[in-house]
Amino acid sequence: MASRIWTWAAIATIAAGAAFTVGTACDEGGGGPGGSCSQLLCEGGSSQCCVPALPGTWDPTLMICNCPPPPEDGGADGDGDVAADADADPETGSDADAEDDSSDPCFAYPCGPYGLELGDVLEDYQYRPVNTVASDMAGEDGVFDFHDLYAQSPTHGGELKSVLMWVTSVWCPVCREEAPQLETLYQDLQDQGVLVIAVILDGASPGTPATESEGRSYATRYGWTFPAMIMPVGESFDGDWWTPADRAEPGVPLHTFIDVTQMRLYGRFAGFAGMGPPRGTLTEIATEPSWSAPGVREPNFDCAPGVGTESEPNDEPASAVDGSSWPFTMSGVTCPMTVADGMLLDQDLIDLGTLDEGTVIDVTATAGAGSPTYPFFELIPATSSMGYPTMGPSFMGATEVNRQWVILARGQYFVAVVDGRLMSNSYYGGGTVPAGDECCQGGPDFTYDVAVDEFALAVTDGAVTPGTPAGGSMDEGDLDVRTLDVTAGTSYTVHMNAASTDVMDPYLVVYDPDTSAVIGENDDTGSGNLNSTVTFTASATKTLWIVAGYYAAFYNGGAPSYTITVD
C-alpha cells in the first residue's frame, strides 16, 4: 500500500513533543492528519482530536478540543489480556500507573515495527467506507482505520478477535463465485468474535480503482452486512499484501487474516477456494491461535494425536522401508488445511527407502471405516521431496484408490498421502465430490489406510509390431504391458499418443523383463506435447515390454484411450 493518511506511529512521534496526556487539548493546527480537528470531529469522538478516540468538548473561543480522561485500564499494555496488565498488582489486578499506560500511543494502536510479512504488526491502514456498516464503524471522521478494529478487541474491552480482510475487484470472475458466500460465513462466526471486511480494489477494468458508486453497488449486490470499503483517493493497494509467490502477479480474491488482539498478520492466500479455509482459520484465531511467540506462526497438523500408526505431527516421514520387507502398511489421519503464507496441506510422507531401477510398486489407499476422507496420494523421488516434480498422482475415489509405478532410477522414494477433497475436482475417479464434502475438513474421524507392496509386472495385452498401431484404454491405476520383439543393432521409436491429452498425460516405459532394467522412458515428447516418445537401439535380439502408463489421468468421463505405434 502507498502512503498512509495517518498512522499511530506518527501520533507516537508527535505525542512525545506535544504532551498528549490525560485531559490534554489539541488545537486545530495539530493533533490530527493535516491539522483537521474540528468541532464536529471533536464532539464525535475522532482520533484526529483525542487519543484514544473519545468525544471531547469543543472550545469555540480557543478553537481547541478538551479531551476527557481515557477509560479504565483493562489491558493498556497492549498484551491482549484484558483481565490483567503486565504491570498490574497480581493480587488485585489493579494498575497503579493506568494513566501512564492509557496515554501511551501503543494503547490506542500497537506500535511498530510494522510490516507485511507473516506475523508482523500491521500499520494503521485506512479505507473509504461504501456501505452503512463501514461508515458506522468509521465514526464521524468518515475514515475506516485499522484502529477502529483494534478499538473493538479484548485489549479495549471488546470481543473482536479475528478478521478476514477480503480483497476483490469488480471485474474479477472467480470473486463473484465467492462473494455471495461471505455473508453466510460472517453470520455463522460473528458470535465467536469474527468480522469480515471487504476492500473493493478495482472497478470494471483491471488497474482502474473502484469508485464509491462501484463499491457501494458491489456490496449491495451481495447483501453484505459487514463493512465494505474502497481505497482512499490517490492510494494503491501494496503488492506486499500478497504471498511472496504471488507478488509478481497478484491474484484476487485475496484472503488476509488478522489476529486483532495483536493486529498481526496471521495468514493469507489468493484465489477462489470456497469457505472451508477461511472458516477454519477465522475460528482458529478466535479460539486458539497458533502463535509460538509474538510474530511466530506454527501451523499445527497434530489434529488427532495417538490415532493411527503415522508419526504426529506430520513434519517427519513415517518409518522407512528398506525394500526388503513387503508389504508396508500404515494408518493415518487427515488434518484440515491450514493457512499461513498460502494454504498448507496435511501431507503425510511414507519413506519407502531406496528402491532399485525397474522395481514395480503397487500402492492402495483406503478410507477408514466410516471416514469421509477421499484417499489421494503421489509418488515423490527424494530429490524433490519438498514438491514437484513427482512421478504422478493417483486418481481419487470415495473409498479406495490404487496405482502402480515402475521405478525409473535407483534412489529414495516417498508416498505422500492427502485427503483428496483438498485437491482439484478433476482428479476424482468414479464421479465428483458430493457437494456436502466441503474442502478442508479433517480431524480424528478422517482416517485412512495405506498399503505399499512390490508388484510383479506381467503382459496384459497383445504384442505390438512396427508399423501396426495398437489401441487400448487405461484403467484406473493400472499399467498396460505389451510385448515387442527387437533385433540387435536395430533402432526403434515407440510412440504413446492419448486420444485426448486433456484427460490423460501418457508416460511410456520400455522395459527388459529379463534384467528388470528400464531401457528408455518418456513423459512428454516435447514442449507443449504431452504424448510420449522413446527411441532406442536394441543391444540384443529378444522380447522387450512396452509399458503404457500415465503421469496424470482424469476418469470423470471413463477410462482414457490411447494408441501405441512403433517405427
Confidence at residue 482, expressed as pLDDT on a 0 to 100 scale: 98
What's the pTM value of the predicted model, to 2 decimals?
0.68
Instruction: Express each pLDDT in 13-62 by its tens digit.
Output: 212 222 212 222 223 333 333 335 667 667 766 666 776 667 778 777 66
Confidence at residue 287, expressed as pLDDT on a 0 to 100 scale: 96
Of 534, 554, 552, the C-alpha closest to 544 is: 534
Confidence at residue 429, expressed as pLDDT on a 0 to 100 scale: 53
Of 131-140, 310-319, 399-408, 418-427, minimum mean pLDDT range: 310-319
Average pLDDT, the chain: 82
With 60 as the cut, is the pLDDT of residue 89 above it?
A: no
Instruction: Express each pLDDT in 412-451 by its tens digit.
Output: 888 888 888 766 544 555 555 555 556 677 889 999 999 9
Residue 278 DSSP SS3 = helix
With 80 as the cut, is the pLDDT of residue 469 above it?
A: yes
φ, ψ of residue 362 in degrees (nearest 5): -125, 125
Of 52-66, 388-402, 553-567, minimum mean pLDDT range: 52-66
Q: Which three cell numbers stand for residue 355?
A: 528402491
- What kind of architecture, by CATH, is found in domain 328-454? Sandwich (2.60)
- Higher-pLDDT residue of 503 and 260 is 260
Helix (H) or strand (E) holding 470: strand 470-473
With 60 as the cut, is the pLDDT of residue 124 above it?
A: yes
Cis peptide before 52, with omega less than 30 degrees from 0?
A: yes
With 50 as the cut, is the pLDDT of residue 91 above it?
A: no
Of 240, 214, 251, the C-alpha closest to 229 is: 214
Supply the CATH classification number for the domain 470-566: 2.60.120.380
- Higher-pLDDT residue of 213 and 23 is 213
Residue for cell digits 480557543?
A: 62
Q: Does the structural domain 113-298 have CATH classification 2.30.30.360? A: no
Instruction: Map out the domains of the chain as residue ranges.
Output: 1-108, 113-298, 328-454, 470-566
Do the domains at 328-454 and 470-566 have one common CATH topology? Answer: yes
Give the CA count within 13 Å in the CB-facing half-sphere of 44.
16
φ, ψ of residue 478 in degrees (nearest 5): -85, 165
φ, ψ of residue 241 in degrees (nearest 5): -65, -30
